[in-house]
Structure 1
Amino acid sequence: MTKPPLVETPEGWVPSGLKVRGKAGAKPTPSPVVAQPAVRPTATPSMPVPMPVESAAEVTEAKAATDSQASFRPMPVLTILSIICLGILYMLGDWQWAKYVEKSRAPAISAATAPVSVAAALQSSQPEYRPVELTGLVDPRSVKLRALRDGISGYRIFTPVVLEDGWIFVDRGFVAEADANKVPALSGQVSYRGVLRKGAKANSFTPDNDPILKDWFWPDLPAMGASLKLTGGSPAYYVALNLVDPLATGQTQINPWADSKGANQIPPERHLGYALTWWGFGFALIGVYTGLHIRTGRLRFGRSPS
């Protein structure tokens, strides 16, 4: 095939018969660009939606507001058990404190103090712990009162003695439970020395007596006298002998219930130590309870704004 001849034109050499518009070498005019609206990418499960970024100031302000709020979410079971334990510890401490106060206020009995008759001691302003002496006819019957001495359970033997103007119980001493049936019955005229003691419960933990079963835990003197069908007398007080020998062994012992500082040989300072110990356990329990809630984040203390 023969190529058409070239023809020279102002725009340059071109094939013959070809029409040329415009100028040679001229750049094409760009078509106008129409702005297209921005299309946001559609979120897909594999591409998380971008969240707005908070400024550092906003984060600090939110954290400060959270820290400034106090909160407390108690553990239910632990809280109930702690309240019960605190109540028990308080009562034990209060009991020992009462014993401390009682023994601290008890008058000291001097060995040189001359004993008086039971009638004269009962007429004094403070009959308890007054030294007395008595002579009368002993009743062969006795009442066994449950007691504990030096960790040994047993009984205190209460025997009535008939005086000129009535009768009064005499505490003859303590015997172990194994020797309770070995206590001999007395008869005839006796003479004793001791101190007056008031018949009352030792504390709120002392069990109640059962007169029907003749089970005695504290010296309820009127009920004990009624169980022996005794009338009259001085049922409010009994005589705790200074020296006792309930088994008639010939070896007398000191009766701790005749001690002027109380119904045992524990000094009042020791009762004070017991009270402080029980109450100290209570404060320690509060500290453990509080620390556990702080550690688990259930207790937070608010911060004051600076």
Structure 2
Amino acid sequence: MTKPPLVETPEGWVPSGLKVRGKAGSKVTPPSTPTIAPLDARPPTRPAASPNRTPPEPPSEPTGTKASDGSGVRFRPMPVLTILSILCLGILYVLGDWQWAKFVEKSRAPAVAAATAPVSVSAGLQSPQPEYRPVELTGLIDPRSVRVRALRDGINGYRIFTPVVMEDGWIFVDRGFVPETEVDKVPVLSGQVSLRGVLRKGAKANSFTPDNDPIRQDWYWPDLPAMGASLKLTGGSPAYYVALNLVDPLATGQMQINPWADSKGANQIPPERHLGYALTWWGFGFALIGVYTGLHLRTGRLRFGRAPT
């Protein structure tokens, strides 16, 4: 069977003699062939969420632990610097505590009234509190003397201890302080003397004072028994000595007050100065802590706050 020829019409190519219904001017396009996308180009399909399905819960933390939010203090000390700082802090604390003890001791020292009449040395030694007791002695002075190292107003020198022989024994007399450059100018005394002063106890100053060397006659603190033995003195009162109220060790004719005979403590350093020394040593300790902390902050070994993510 022969197919009828196709004729072109406004509606398109149609078989000859076929009438096409429709609006004039409309154009019928042949159906297009659907294209199928490759399998690998298709978007992944996601299963439809069930209305009754709940989202999964996050994993729970182990019992007894707490989540870290990165906050807190992070400290990595420098080993050598830390050891040296601890040693220095210990030394500074000991020095400050020693000065504080001296301050408390001198602040509590019994004050001797100026109107108290002096007594004899033997009566003063028999009193309940011989320390700082005003006494008066008369006797024969020994021309030999012992030099004890001392420091006064920042000047190195010596205190001159000379024995005085009385009727009932002997006792050392502190004649005053002499600078080291003038110690050879101290005159040698002899004959009968009558002196006034206060009784002082010859005790070691502190644990930092060097030991005495009796053989070389090098004395750092008034060890009265050893000083008397070095001069071959027997008997007497080796526990106390007399600190003269007014001294003139160089015989210049200008008497001056002996700070070791001061009734407030009989020492060349007042209590207030010991308090200042204690605060200074402790202040150095706090400064060392500040430098130690600042150095660790600067090098990143000490950090505060939230750690970077």
Compared CA separation, residues 226 and 265, structure 1 to 2 (3 A): closer
Distance 2:5 2:295 in 1: 97
Which SS does the other structure have where 1:65 is aligned? coil
Distance 1:266 1:156, change over 3 A: closer
Match of 2:278, SS state, is helix
In structure 2, list runs of 5 or more residues that go unmatched: 7-29, 43-66
> What amino acid sits opposite 1:155 in the alignment?
Y
In the alignment, what sits opposite 1:72? 75
What letter corresponds to residue 236 of structure 1 in structure 2? A
Counterparts of 1:15-54 in structure 2, within 5 Å, are 35=39
Distance in 2 (CA, whole Å) between partners of 1:31 and 1:255 is 122
Q: Give the equivalent residue in structure 1 for 2:164.
A: 161
Equivalent in the alignment of 2:214:
211
Match of 2:257 in 1: 254
1:239-276 CA distance string (max 9 Å, x none): 11011111222221111111122343543233223322
Assess, with a 3 A threshold, how the Cα gap between structure 1 residues 35 and 106 changes in structure 2: closer, same or farther. Answer: same
Aligned: 1:285 with 2:288: yes
The answer as to 2:197 corresponding to 1:194 is yes
Match of 1:117 in 2: 120
Greater CA drift, 268-277 or 137-146: 268-277
Q: 1:153 to 1:94 in 2, by over 3 A?
A: same
Between 1:282-291 and 1:215-224, the stretch displaced more is 282-291
How far apart are the structure 2 equivalents of 1:121 and 1:302? 69
Distance 2:161 2:119 in 1: 21
User: Is 1:273 paired with 2:276?
Assistant: yes
Q: Equivalent of 2:132, from 129, 138, 152?
A: 129
Q: Look up the equivalent residue of 1:235 and give its one-letter code.
A: P
Residues 260-305 of structure 1 deviation map (CA, whole Å, 9 limit, x = unaligned): 22343543233223322322332232233234334443234578xx
Report what 2:187 is aligned to: 184
Q: Which moved more, 1:215-224 or 1:240-249?
A: 240-249
RMSD: 2.9
Amino acid at match of 2:203: A
Question: Alpha-carbon deviation of 1:70?
Answer: 3.5
Q: How many residues align?
A: 260
Local SS of the residue matching 1:211:
coil
Q: Distance in 1 between matches of 2:193 and 2:156?
A: 28
The match for 1:144 is 147
Partner SS, residue 81 of structure 1? helix
| One-letter amino acid of the structure 1 residue matched with residue 189 of structure 2 | L
Residues 197-255 of structure 1, C-alpha deviation per residue, up to 9 Å, x if partnerless? 11112222211111111100100111111111111111111111011111222221111
Structure 1 distance, partners of 2:247, 2:171, is 17
The answer for the alignment partner of 2:231 in structure 1 is 228
TM-score of the pair, normalised by structure 2: 0.74
CA 31–236 in structure 1, closer or farther in 2 if over 3 Å, else same: same
The answer as to 2:105 corresponding to 1:102 is yes
State the Cα distance separating 1:28 from its structure 2 match. Answer: 11
Task: Summarize the Cα distance change of 1:126–1:248 in structure 2 as closer, same or farther, 3 Å threshold.
Answer: same
Whole-Å separation in 1 of the counterparts to 2:138 and 2:128: 23
Q: Deviations over 1:89-136 (max 9, x none)?
A: 212211221121111111222221101111111112211111011111
What CA distance in whole angstroms lies between the structure 2 residues aligned with 1:83 and 1:239? Answer: 44
Q: Could you list the runs of 5+ residues in structure 1 that have no partner in the other structure?
A: 1-7, 13-25, 39-62
With the length of structure 1 as denominator, give the TM-score of the two structures.
0.75
Alignment-derived partner of residue 47 in structure 1 = none
Q: Could you say if the C-alpha distance between residues 178 and 292 of structure 1 is closer, same or farther in structure 2, counting changes exceeding 3 Å?
A: closer
1:66 is paired with a residue of what secondary structure?
A: coil
How far off its partner does 1:165 sit? Answer: 1.9
2:152–2:268 contact (8 Å) kept in structure 1: no
Alpha carbons of 1:195 and 1:30: their partners in 2 closer, same or farther (altered >3 Å)? Answer: same
Code of the residue aligned with 1:65 in structure 2: it is D
Moved more, 290-299 or 129-138: 290-299
